[in-house]
Amino acid sequence: MGAVAYDVIGKTDKVFDNSGPGLNCKVTDQQEFFGGCAGNIAYGLGLQNVPYLLLSAAGSEDFRRYAQHLNHQLNGILTVKGANCARANIITDPNGNQFTAFSPGPEIDIDIWNVHLHNQAFESFDLFICAPFPAPMMQAALHNAKTKNERIATVWVPGQYADGMDANELKTAIEYCDVLIGNAHEIAHIRATLPDGLGHKTVIETNGARPVRAVLTDGNQRTLPTPAVSPVVDPTGCGDAFVAGVAPALLKAMDESVDGDWEASINNIVRAGIKHAGYCLTQRGSQTYSC
What does the alpha-carbon distance between residue 41 and residue 47 come to, in Å, rounded to a whole number? 10
- No. of helices (H) and no. of strands (E), the chain: 8, 12
Beta bridge partners of 86: 5
Write down the H helix ranges in the chain.
Answer: 37-47, 64-70, 110-118, 135-148, 167-175, 184-193, 238-256, 266-281
What's the rounded mean pLDDT across residues 201-222? 96
> Burial of 67 by CB count in 10 Å (0-12 exposed, 13-18 middle, 19+ buried)?
middle
pLDDT at residue number 72: 76
Dihedral over alpha carbons 86, 92, 95, 97 (to 10 degrees): -30
Q: What is the mean pLDDT of residues 153-159?
A: 97
- Residue 141 pLDDT greater than 90, yes or no: yes
Q: Helix/strand/coil (H, E, C) string of 95-112? A: CCCEEEEEECCCCCCHHH
Residue among 213, 218, 217 at smallest CA distance from 187 = 213
Dist CA 277 CA 101 (whole Å): 22
Q: Which distant-in-sequence residues (6+ apart) come within 8 Å of 233 by Cβ?
A: 281, 282, 283, 284
The dihedrals phi and psi of 48, each to the nearest 5 degrees, come to -100, 10
Per-residue pLDDT, 123: 95
Helix axes 238-256, 266-281, angle to 10 degrees: 150
- Rounded to the nearest integer, the mean pLDDT of the chain is 93
pTM for the structure as a whole: 0.93
| Residue ranges of domains in the chain | 5-16+27-281
| pLDDT tens-place string over residues 22-76 | 677 889 889 999 999 999 999 999 999 999 999 999 999 999 999 999 887 788 9
pLDDT tens across 247-285, in order? 999 999 999 988 889 999 999 999 999 999 999 999 999
Average pLDDT over residues 147-155: 96
Domain 5-16+27-281 sits in CATH at 3.40.1190.20
Task: Give the single-character DSSP code of 161.
Answer: G
> Mean of the pLDDT values across residues 161-174?
94
C-alpha closest to that of 3 among 39, 32, 45: 39
Query: What percent of the chain shows pLDDT beyond 90?
Result: 83
Collapse the DSSP code of 180 into the 3-class scheme (helix H, G, I; strand E, B; otherwise coil) and give the result.
Answer: strand
Q: State the Cα–Cα distance between residues 28 and 92, nearest whole angstrom.
A: 10
Distance CA 229, CA 34 (A): 23
Mean pLDDT (whole number) for 179-200: 92
Burial of 46 (0-12, 13-18, 19+ CB in 10 A): middle
- One-letter amino acid of 211: P
* d(C-alpha 271, C-alpha 276), whole Å: 9
Q: What is the mean pLDDT of residues 208-216?
A: 96
CA distance 129 to 74: 17
Instruction: Please state, in angstroms and rounded to a whole number, the distance separating the CA atoms of residues 248 and 256.
Output: 12
- Rounded to 5 degrees, what are φ and ψ at 60? -65, -25
State the pLDDT confidence band at 20, using cuts at 50, 70 and 90: low
The predicted model gives 176-196 an average pLDDT of 94
Q: How far apart are CA 219 and CA 203, in angstroms?
A: 10
Tell me what percent of the residues of the chain surpass a pLDDT of 70: 98
Least confident of 100-104, 159-163, 247-251, 260-264: 100-104
Average pLDDT rounded to a whole number, residues 188-206: 92
